[in-house]
Amino acid sequence: MKNNYLVKMREGKQLSFSQQLSMIITLSIPAILAQLSSIIMQYIDASMVGRLGANDSASIGLVSSSTWLFGGLCMAAGTGFSVQIAKRIGANDDKSARSLVKTGLISVMIFSFLLLLIGVSVSHVLPVLLGGEEKIREGAFWYFLIFALSIPFMQLNYTAGGIIQASGNMKTPGILEIVMCFLDVIFNALLIFPSGTRNIFGKNIFFIGAGLGIKGAALGTAFAEAVTGLIMLWYLLFRSPALKIRKSEKLKFSMSDLTSSLKIAIPVGIEQIITCSAYIAFTKIVSPLGTIAIAANSFSITAESLCYMPGYGISAAASTIIGQSIGAKRHDITKKLGWLAVAVGMTVMTIGGAVMYIAAPLMISILSPNTAIQELGSEILRIEAFAEPMYAASIVASGVFRGAGDTSVPTVLNLVSMWAVRIPLAAYLAAGYGIQGVWLAMCIELCVRGTLFLILLAVRFQKKADSWEYI
């Protein structure tokens, strides 16, 4: 980067408002592209499977909240190490950061294999527990089983990418996530559909395919994750300027580093369990509403993610910036950077919400040719558009808290918001208003959550305006 403001910040140099804004935007763009690429990959899966029929679409939708739970736990495991690495790099303690990389990689890979075993063991009963109809259970079983077997590669992707981002390099993980999208398209095209002639831009072209259907969609994503995760690991260990292996160094596995990381990771993991178990309960509320409602719910969640994933990209950048700022003891600008990141996130997602409201029919039509799914999906997606500004506030503020190492705050707020507001309200409104009532409950809950995050962020900053070391 021509003007590396992270380096200037670590060196104690003053940064103007425009430079602070430029740093946030510059670091956010690659992270946003990375987040969007993962959602585009879900779009690809959903769109291709949607061509197979409503039942296959509903099969994926049934277990999607469960895949988020396992993915969230993988993310949480990596967060404990990436936050500490950002602070050590901010303090110019690169050798200690490299030692932490070794401890982190060993620990999270052991954890991922435990998740794999749990996932495989529950894959057969999960569709039944979620209340899926008989006709969609087999597809849901196969999709989740293949997903569970690929968890170590997903863990590798999350952890290596998060550590690279913590070093201040948002570009490389972003590029590799985009590459993963292209790989997913290729693998899906080869695995989902059978061999045959298809009309592409007016020309009949013969394609070779395995014809595996929903299994092919899961395998395509797994193969793309595996390739990208291994490349990410190679870059981290052999190319990263700050973190690559030095032959002269003997890095030891550190129990104290592991303990410190667990203090950060466990609240994040609990937060993911709280959030994703609420999503599973949400799915249970939707399941009795029928196959069309399940498919519309799943497709709408995928479509909405195009709007909120930029917020997660900005949140990732905020975590890196706040972590390095605290590590460098730049308490003079930490507060300003935190609020500025939240403002950028809210602006971006407000614009995204407006676009989503207008383009809802197009977004759903890309995912499914079924007119009933398109109509219902468009309707509930437009309800959610009104929640995007406050949803952004919760997402980016959470990144600020995590960068400071305070992972308990998002956990508590998500617990209160999801289980005291969303689930009871969704269960109540579903009875009278169907899937529309369920999504109205989600819209209300996200507004409540964003308000809570903004209030607590203000309280935290006010407590010690010149320092975040109390966290």
Give the tens place of pLDDT for each residue, 77-118: 888 888 888 888 888 888 888 989 988 999 999 999 999 999
Report whether pLDDT(231) > 90.
yes
Report whether pLDDT(470) > 50.
no
Give me the sign of the Cα torsion angle 282, 287, 289, 290: positive
Residue 446 neighbours by CB under 8 Å, 6+ apart: 384, 387, 390, 391, 394
Can you say how many angstroms the Cα of residue 194 is from the centroid of all Cα atoms in its chain?
31
β-strand 194-200 against 203-210: which pairing, if any? Answer: antiparallel
Tokens of 457: 């962020």
Least confident of 116-120, 209-213, 353-357: 209-213
β-bridge mates for residue 203, sequence order: 200
Nearest to 367 by CA among 31, 61, 27: 61
Helix (H/G/I), strand (E/B), else coil: 104: helix
Helix (H/G/I), strand (E/B), else coil: 14: coil
Mean pLDDT of the chain: 86
Calpha distance 108→262 (Å, rounded): 11
Predicted pLDDT at 202: 65
Predicted pLDDT at 38: 66
More confident residue, 125 or 247: 125
Is there a contact between 415 and 279 (Cβ–Cβ < 8 Å)?
A: no
Predicted pLDDT at 469: 47
251-265, 360-374, 376-390 — most confident range: 376-390
pLDDT tens digits for 6-57?
878 887 888 888 888 888 888 888 778 777 776 676 666 666 776 677 777 7
Report whether pLDDT(373) > 70.
yes
Q: Which DSSP string corresponds to 403-423?
A: HTT--HHHHHHHHHHIIIIIH
Average pLDDT score over residue span 281-302: 84
Percent of the chain whose pLDDT exceeds 90: 36
Report whether pLDDT(471) > 70.
no
Calpha distance 303→39 (Å, rounded): 8
More confident residue, 464 or 91: 91
pLDDT band at 391 (very low <50, low <70, confident <90, very high): very high
Calpha distance 129→415 (Å, rounded): 22
Nearest to 342 by CA among 409, 401, 408, 387: 401
Average pLDDT score over residue span 152-172: 90
pTM: 0.75
> If you compute the radius of gyration of the chain from its CA atoms, what whole number of angstroms results?
22
Predicted pLDDT at 198: 66
Predicted pLDDT at 345: 94
More confident residue, 44 or 295: 295
More confident residue, 10 or 155: 155
Predicted pLDDT at 11: 77
Nearest to 304 by CA among 379, 230, 249: 379
Least confident of 64-68, 141-145, 241-245, 379-383: 64-68
Helix (H/G/I), strand (E/B), else coil: 469: coil
1-5, 222-226, 258-262 — most confident range: 222-226
Predicted pLDDT at 200: 59
User: CA dihedral in degrees (244, 268, 155, 80; nearest 10)?
Assistant: 20
Percent of the chain whose pLDDT exceeds 70: 93
Nearest to 308 by CA among 244, 371, 366, 381: 381
Report whether pLDDT(126) > 80.
yes
pLDDT band at 448 (very low <50, low <70, confident <90, very high): very high
Nearest to 90 by CA among 399, 332, 320, 407: 320
Is there a contact between 78 and 156 (Cβ–Cβ < 8 Å)?
A: no
The torsion angles phi and psi of 198, rounded to 5 degrees, stand at: -130, 150
Residue with tokens 């999208």: 181
Calpha distance 66→69 (Å, rounded): 5
